[in-house]
Amino acid sequence: MLKPEILGQLLVMQSFVISLPDEKSIFSFVCRGLQDMPGVSAVRYSVSPQDQDYESTTVRIPVSLGERFLGEMLLTLDDKELFAPYLDYMNNFCYMLAVVLEERSQRLQNDQLKAELELRVQQRTNQLEAEIAERILIEESLLESESRFRSLLNTIPDLIWLKDADGVYLSCNVIFERFFGAKEADILGKTDYDFVEKELADFFREHDRKAMAANSPSSNEEWITFPDDGQRVLLYTTKTPMYDNNGALIGVLGVGRNITEIRSSQEEKSKLEAQLHQAQKMESVGRLAGGVAHDFNNMLSVILGHAELGLMRLDPANPVCADLKEIKSAAQRSADLTRQLLAFARKQTISPKVIDLNDTVANMLKMLQRLIGEDIHLTWQPSPELCQVKIDPSQLDQILANLCVNARDAIEDTGRISIETGTCTIDTDYSAANPEATPGEYVRLVVSDNGKGMDKETLTHIFEPFYTTKGVGEGTGLGLATVYGAVKQNNGFINIYSEPGKGSTFSIHLPHYAEDFLRKHAEEAAQAVPRGHETILLVEDEPAILEITSQLLEMQDYTVLRAVNPGRAMELAREHHGTIHLLMTDVIMPEMNGRDLARNILAIHPGMKRLFMSGYTADIIAHHGVLDEGVHFIQKPFSLPDMAAMVRKVLDVG
Amino acid sequence: MSQSNKSISLGFTNEPFLPGVHICQIFSSDDERQELLLKFILSGLQSKERTCCFSDNTTKQAIGEFLGNYGISHNDAIESGALTLAGTRDIYFENDRFEPERMLSLLASYYNDSVTEGYPAARVIGEMATEIQHVSGGNRLMEYESKVSILLRDHPVTAVCQYDARSFDGAMIMDVLKVHPLMIVRGSVVHNPFYIRPEEFLTQ
């Protein structure tokens, strides 16, 4: 007799076994559920097909799908009849159980395979993600490196480019873009022939090939013009063959450096060095000339003095007088030469005065016209501005006369010489480029001619003493040297503009003297050779000069105390009881210089006047060649009238 | 309170039941467990029944969010006493012991208080913790469940007991079935063919 609740239990168990997690739990659940089946005293299950551990009353119900054995339910019966109606249900239940177990097994297997697959997918995904991350890092690193490289290329102020072996552009920087007036994207893949004229492209290509053939860098200089602003620059271009890691030729790497400024600086430096060299040479020559002039002056003084003394003592009808006159004339010309040498050497003693160039030049025009002759037209263009300078007027005479004579000689037949004045300001930039010019305000005296002009070689020598382009006997070679010395002595400088066939222009720049000055010049009345009766202490270490100078002074009725050296002079000063009105002394002497001697004797004879003589320099008594107020100087050699006038002047000064 | 004469909704099935039914749910997924729990609580509060939930796996926040979707404030419900939320371990294993008498007393008091406070009915849902198999007194679980069925005859609290098929042994699951007159099979509440009346069960 079937009990419906038992069938219900079997159905419920069927429903629940699906929810249970594993076989153990399922069989545990089923065994407990079957315990209460009619006729069943015990229930167990076995998964072993060889399980023989059961009693005779045990019913074995397989849990299997065809040949597939999954286990068996072992039901021990205490009442077979009661159980018998349920046997078929139990068989069905166990089959169902087998289906559930197999399905579960399959599901678990699938789950396991799925889990393994998912794990492998996950592992591969992780691996790929790691590879991608690494690749991203590499790409970022490459991008950064590329960016850094690009930045480096574009920061360098040189033109940089890379061409393949056929001259096709592979890369370039922004400076190079500027050269072609195109962006890199438009340059790549093209050649020089797409951007510049064939002749220039051929030139570039030739150097490319040269570098590749030589397998070493090839350099050349070339001028290029940037099309955007027309800037023209000198490039020092180096082309280097490039190879890949396998040693195969890639092409040519080009680097073009703008050396325009460097070259300009080099040329400027060379120019300055040449100027310095010239200045040093002039200084050396000046020093040499000054030294020669000193000794030469001493000798001329003796020659002149004796010639004049002889002329005074002889009857003018005496034929020897003519000889003496020739000797005197030659000596005076020689003295003029030494004076010019000293002027060049900036050793001539000067007495600067403030003058207006416009007035001074205007007063010289007649003399200058006579100097240059009638065939040459002289024009004068004074500046409307006041052109005051402080200079010894005689130096200005030297400058203008020499410049005009040179201009005259540069003009073959007829021509034109112009003189003009003006003012200008020299700034620091100009000064930097022209070291001889110091910044400041200047008065400019310009002498121009339309003569034959000079070449560069001549221009580098024209201020050197005894350098002349004139024929033998036509020039001394001291004219422009004198001008140079005079200008330099007055802190000025000279600019020359000249080219062969285009005339010459000499611009003399003298410091502008801004102080007001009295325009009236003290006119010194011309006087006859003055005489006197005062006592003069004459000191000269050159006996011949001492002798002749003494005789000249005595001829003018002065009382002369002769001393051949400072020691003797001191003795005479101490021994002489009367007044010594004037000390007339050489400047450079072995024992003591003239200045110290004067100071010592002045202690014995206060109020004594001093007149210094020198054939060389006034530095000992003058500062930079400029005499202090109250100090008097006479340049050797001197003529009798000059000396007499100077002596009288000094004695008469209050 | 006339609970015994008026059918109620369990929330997770359309079939009406009289208060005081004792149902077990053998679940094998958390979603299955939580869905039933939330629907049971919601229907209880919607019916103004006093509702109680013992669970360690459904948070107060999850319950609050679910009820909120239906316009019910769980905080208000808790404050008013209509809803009681507690952890299974806190309630069942006081002093690390499981005492069926204490639990039965609590259940009786819960019902009596509900009556006193005027609730139309009272319900409780509890998820049994696996520790029951290890705590002192845990071996009396089936005795307790069986006595609950007796208690509910006089104190008709609608009770749903949740057991996790993944955590309990199959034999124990079968024992659980034997002490619950109703069980949930594939979402439907059915009479349990394994059920053994308490008087018989307790004598075995």
Q: Among residues A94, A69, A546, which one has the least CA distance to residue A301?
A: A546
Most confident option among A478-482, A517-521, B12-16: B12-16
Report the percentage of chain A scoring pLDDT > 70: 91
Asked if residues A361 and A380 have their Cβ atoms less than 8 Å apart, the reply is: yes
pLDDT for A425 equals: 84
Helix or strand (DSSP H, E) at A32 = helix A23-34
Q: Alpha-carbon distance B84 to B126, whole Å?
A: 11
Beta-strand runs (E) in A325-438 = 353-356, 376-381, 388-391, 415-426
For testing contact with chain A, the best of B174, B185, B188, B197 (most A CBs within 10 A): B174
CA dihedral in degrees (A212, A218, A220, A225; nearest 10)? Answer: 50
Does A15 contact B193 at a Cβ distance shorter than 8 Å? no
Q: Which residues pair with A559 in a beta bridge?
A: A535
Q: Who contacts B156 (Cβ-Cβ below 8 Å, separation ≥6)?
A: B3, B4, B18, B19, B20, B111, B121
The predicted-structure confidence for A15-27, as pLDDT tens digits, reads as follows: 899 889 888 999 9
Provide the 3-class DSSP secondary structure of residue A180: helix
Retrieve residue B37's tokens: 């729990």
Q: Which residue of A has its CA nearest to B169?
A: A25
Provide the 3-class DSSP secondary structure of residue A467: coil
**Three state DSSP letters for A599-632:** HHHHHHCCCCEEEEEECCCCCCCEECCEECCCCE
pLDDT for A581 equals: 92
Among candidates A11, A12, A28 on the partner chain, residue whose Cβ is nearest the Cβ of B170: A28
Apex CA A306: angle with CA A302 and CA A311, to 5°? 150
Which residue would you say has higher pLDDT here, A310 or A628?
Answer: A310
Beta-strand runs (E) in A78-194 = 159-164, 169-172
Residue type at position A573:
A
- Residue bearing tokens 């993600």: A129
Q: Who contacts A434 (Cβ-Cβ below 8 Å, separation ≥6)?
A: A275, A493, A495
Provide the 3-class DSSP secondary structure of residue A193: helix
Retrieve residue A554's tokens: 């005595």
Q: Alpha-carbon distance A634 to A348, whole Å?
A: 11
Among candidates B169, B192, B193 on the partner chain, residue whose Cβ is nearest the Cβ of A28: B169
Query: Which chain A residues contact residue B171 at CB under 8 A?
Result: 28-29, 31-32
Provide the 3-class DSSP secondary structure of residue A161: strand
Q: Which residue of A has its CA nearest to B185?
A: A15
Q: Alpha-carbon distance A292 to A342, whole Å?
A: 9
Q: Alpha-carbon distance A644 to A529, whole Å?
A: 6
Beta-strand runs (E) in B28-176 = 50-54, 83-86, 122-127, 158-164
Cα separations in angstroms, A520 against A351, A422, A438, A516: 17, 22, 31, 12
Between chain A and chain B, how many beta carbons pairs sit less than 8 Å apart?
55
Q: Alpha-carbon distance A502 to A497, whole Å?
A: 9
pLDDT for A630 equals: 56
Distance from CA of A41 to the nearest CA of B (A): 15
Which residue would you say has higher pLDDT here, A635 or A547?
Answer: A547
Backbone angles phi, psi at B168, to 5 degrees: -105, 150
Distance from CA of A110 to the nearest CA of B (A): 19
pTM above 0.80, yes or no: no
pLDDT for B118 equals: 94
Q: Which of A277-291, A516-530, B138-152 has the lowest mean pLDDT?
A: A516-530
Sequential DSSP letters for B84-113: EEE-HHHHHTGGGB--HHHHHHHHHHHHHH
The predicted-structure confidence for A580-589, as pLDDT tens digits, reads as follows: 999 999 887 8
Kindly list the residues of chain B whose beta carbon comes within 8 Å of any beta carbon in chain A. 26-28, 165-166, 169-171, 173-175, 177, 183, 185-186, 192-194
- Residue bearing tokens 């008498």: B101
Distance from CA of B10 to the nearest CA of A (A): 22
The predicted-structure confidence for A20-70, as pLDDT tens digits, reads as follows: 988 899 999 999 999 989 999 999 998 887 767 777 788 999 999 988 888
pLDDT for A519 equals: 35
Which residue would you say has higher pLDDT here, A478 or B136?
Answer: B136
Mean pLDDT of chain B: 93
**Average pLDDT score over residue span A130-152:** 90
Distance from CA of A21 to the nearest CA of B (A): 5
Retrieve residue A516's tokens: 């007001």
A644: pLDDT confidence band, cut at 50, 70 and 90?
confident
pLDDT for B64 equals: 95
Mean pLDDT of chain A: 84
Q: Among residues B71, B82, B79, B75, which one has the least CA distance to residue B49?
A: B82
Distance from CA of B196 to the nearest CA of A (A): 11
Retrieve residue A284's tokens: 């050396």
Q: Alpha-carbon distance A300 to A106, whole Å?
A: 142
Does A16 contact B175 at a Cβ distance shorter than 8 Å? no
Query: Which chain B residues contact residue A30 at CB under 8 A?
Result: 170
For testing contact with chain A, the best of B27, B173, B183 (most A CBs within 10 A): B173
Which residue would you say has higher pLDDT here, A160 or A277?
Answer: A160
Sequential DSSP letters for A506-557: EEEEEE---S----PPPP-----------EEEEE-SSHHHHHHHHHHHHHTT
Long-range contacts of A177-184 (CB under 8 A, 24+ apart): A178/A226, A178/A228, A179/A224, A179/A226, A179/A227, A179/A256, A180/A227, A181/A226, A181/A227, A181/A228
Asked whether the predicted pLDDT for residue B119 surpasses 60, the reply is: yes
Q: Who contacts A527 (Cβ-Cβ below 8 Å, separation ≥6)?
A: A645, A648
Retrieve residue A437's tokens: 């010019």
Sequential DSSP letters for A278-309: HHHHHHHHHHHHHHHHHHHHHHHHHHHHHHHH
For testing contact with chain A, the best of B130, B184, B194 (most A CBs within 10 A): B194
Helix or strand (DSSP H, E) at A310 = helix A260-313
pLDDT for A528 equals: 60
pLDDT for A643 equals: 86
Which residue would you say has higher pLDDT here, A522 or B73?
Answer: B73
Retrieve residue A89's tokens: 């249900």
Q: Which residue of A has its CA nearest to B167?
A: A21
Provide the 3-class DSSP secondary structure of residue A424: strand
For CA atoms B84, B88, B89, B93, give the dihedral sign: positive
Among candidates B170, B171, B194 on the partner chain, residue whose Cβ is nearest the Cβ of A12: B194
Q: Exposure of B93 by Cβ count < 10 A (0-12 exposed, 13-18 middle, 19+ buried)?
A: buried
Distance from CA of B121 to the nearest CA of A (A): 31
pLDDT for A343 equals: 67
Q: Alpha-carbon distance A189 to A25, whole Å?
A: 78
Helix or strand (DSSP H, E) at A573 = helix A566-575
Q: Which residue of A has its CA nearest to B165?
A: A20
Kindly list the residues of chain A whose beta carbon comes within 8 Å of any beta carbon in chain B. 5-6, 8-9, 11-12, 15-16, 19-21, 24-33, 36
Does A12 contact B166 at a Cβ distance shorter than 8 Å? no
Q: Alpha-carbon distance A502 to A504, whole Å?
A: 7
Asked if residues B121 and B52 have their Cβ atoms less than 8 Å apart, the reply is: no
pLDDT for A468 equals: 74
Q: Alpha-carbon distance B171 to A219, whole Å?
A: 99
Query: Which chain B residues contact residue A24 at CB under 8 A?
Result: 170
Distance from CA of B101 to the nearest CA of A (A): 27
B16: left (phi over 0), alpha (psi -120 to 50) or beta: beta
Asked whether the predicted pLDDT for residue A122 surpasses 70, the reply is: yes
Q: Among residues A541, A546, A532, which one has the least CA distance to residue A646?
A: A532
Asked whether the predicted pLDDT for residue A205 surpasses 80, the reply is: yes
| β A159-164/A249-258 pair status | antiparallel
Query: Which chain B residues contact residue A2 at CB under 8 A?
Result: none
A78: pLDDT confidence band, cut at 50, 70 and 90?
very high
Asked whether the predicted pLDDT for residue A176 surpasses 50, the reply is: yes
Asked whether the predicted pLDDT for residue A522 surpasses 50, the reply is: no
Does B185 contact A12 at a Cβ distance shorter than 8 Å? yes
The predicted-structure confidence for B89-112, as pLDDT tens digits, reads as follows: 999 998 899 999 999 999 999 999
pLDDT for A498 equals: 84
ipTM, two decimals: 0.91
Asked if residues A303 and A329 have their Cβ atoms less than 8 Å apart, the reply is: no
**Average pLDDT score over residue span A568-597:** 88
Retrieve residue A103's tokens: 């399905």
Q: Alpha-carbon distance A345 to A617, whole Å?
A: 10
